[in-house]
Amino acid sequence: MSLKEGARLKPGTRWSELLAWYRRNPRQNLPWRKRKSPYRTLVSELMLQQTQVEQVIPYYHRFLKRFPTLEALARAPLSEVLDLWAGLGYYSRARNLHACARQVMARHGGALPEAPKELLRLPGIGRYTAGAIGSIAFSKPVPLVDGNVTRVLCRVFGIREDPRGPAVAKRLWSVAAGLVPKRNPGDFNQALMDLGALVCAPKSPQCGRCPLRSDCLAYRKGWQEAIPPPKKAIPRKKIRYVCGILTKNGSVLVARRPFTGLLGGLWEFPGGEEFPELSKTESLRRLLKEKLGLEAEPRKMTCRLKQLLTHRELQIAGFACAWSGRLKPRWYDEIRWVKKTGLPRVGLTAGMRRLAAVMAGRGPDS
């Protein structure tokens, strides 16, 4: 079956089997599928971008408890949204979600638009998210193509070219548009995504469980492991980061990063990237002077750990510091003294959350 032929296919017996498989699989119990609404679909889809389902679920529950409606989210300050998002990563999603809510309130009377073209004009909503909201929340027969759907379609139709290339990506969207049915389009799109996540995995796919295996060209040819071709690994840039643990009356100092830039709006123990010409302790003295106006003396390294970002590896060293002077947040947006027991409720970056766990005696991965 060629890619060109695939673009003309309509769901038939095999695709009905896919829907039957989908309705039996355990992901039906996911919270955003139990209670559907355009707003809940928007929140879940942005959280699920590049993030595992298991990690998203507790954040989704907390987020909906605090912001049960789009209006509640729009009214909240960005700082509160970021604090609640802390630890989930890819923080531009939180900023986009907040901006989207405000724009919907201002321009659409508080209701997400149904038309994909209107959805695409909103912050944080690209073609995939517009397809998800359109098909799942509004039952529009519009396609969506994510990494899981790409893998399923490439294997079923035997597409051996790199799907990240613009020409192949364009054709995959055309194939997906030809497949999505007018009836239950949301279920169909979610079935394709679930099939890729649960069965048609990148490595060791469980072809014996797949409802599409009899039509899958990769299965018949034995090409499963070669399709799609693997990404070229991009080496992470290593960044050496030092931070100071400053205490006063049983509390520790945390500082909010500026709202723009890497990890914008999140909290950290004050510090920054090491200066290449200076040692760790010398770098920290200089950073605390420049960012907080303090005279500080790093005394003991309390922790060393790594935080992996998409294209960066932060190597973080935390130092207990003696300090003097008046705090002047020259670079930070805000500073706050927090009891150590209260640190889990602060929107710290992932690396700083692990450092705080070490301070509390729970270990870096607790």
Going residue by residue through the chain (366 aa), what tens digit of pLDDT does each one get? 444 444 334 444 577 889 999 988 878 789 999 888 999 999 999 999 888 999 999 999 999 999 999 999 999 999 999 999 988 888 899 999 999 999 999 999 999 999 989 999 999 999 999 999 999 999 999 999 999 999 999 999 999 999 999 999 999 999 999 999 999 999 999 999 999 999 999 999 999 999 999 889 999 999 999 999 988 878 889 999 999 999 999 999 999 999 887 788 899 999 999 999 999 999 999 999 999 999 999 999 988 888 877 788 889 999 999 999 888 888 999 999 999 888 888 889 888 988 888 876 655 543
| Residue 232 is assigned to a structural domain of this protein | no
Q: Give the CATH number, domain containing residue 249.
A: 3.90.79.10
What DSSP character marks residue 305?
E
User: What DSSP assignment string belongs to 129-157?
Assistant: HHHHIIIIIT--------HHHHHHHHHHT
Specify whether 187 is located in the same domain as 72.
yes
How many separate domains does the chain show?
2
Specify whether 275 is located in the same domain as 166.
no
Specify whether 14 is located in the same domain as 54.
yes
Q: Is 45 a catalytic residue?
A: yes
Specify whether 206 is located in the same domain as 252.
no
Can you tell me the distance from the alpha carbon of 200 to that of 218, in angstroms, rounded to the nearest whole number? 11
- Phi then psi dihedrals of residue 166, to 5 deg: -60, -35
End of a domain among 226, 250, 271? Answer: 226
Q: Are 108 and 77 in contact (CB under 8 A)?
A: no
Containing domain of residue 173, as a range? 3-226
Out of 5, 45, 225, 274, which one is annotated catalytic? 45
Specify whether 273 is located in the same domain as 159.
no
What are 67's strand-pairing partners? none
**Which sign, positive or negative, has the C-alpha torsion 166, 94, 129, 309?**
positive
Specify whether 101 is located in the same domain as 198.
yes
| Residue 65 is assigned to a structural domain of this protein | yes
* Sheet with 295-308, side-by-side order of all strands: 271-273, 237-245, 312-324, 295-308
Specify whether 248 is located in the same domain as 101.
no
Specify whether 209 is located in the same domain as 114.
yes
Can you tell me the distance from the alpha carbon of 155 to that of 145, in angstroms, rounded to the nearest whole number? 14
Tokens (6 digits) for 343: 């640190």
| Residue 148 is assigned to a structural domain of this protein | yes
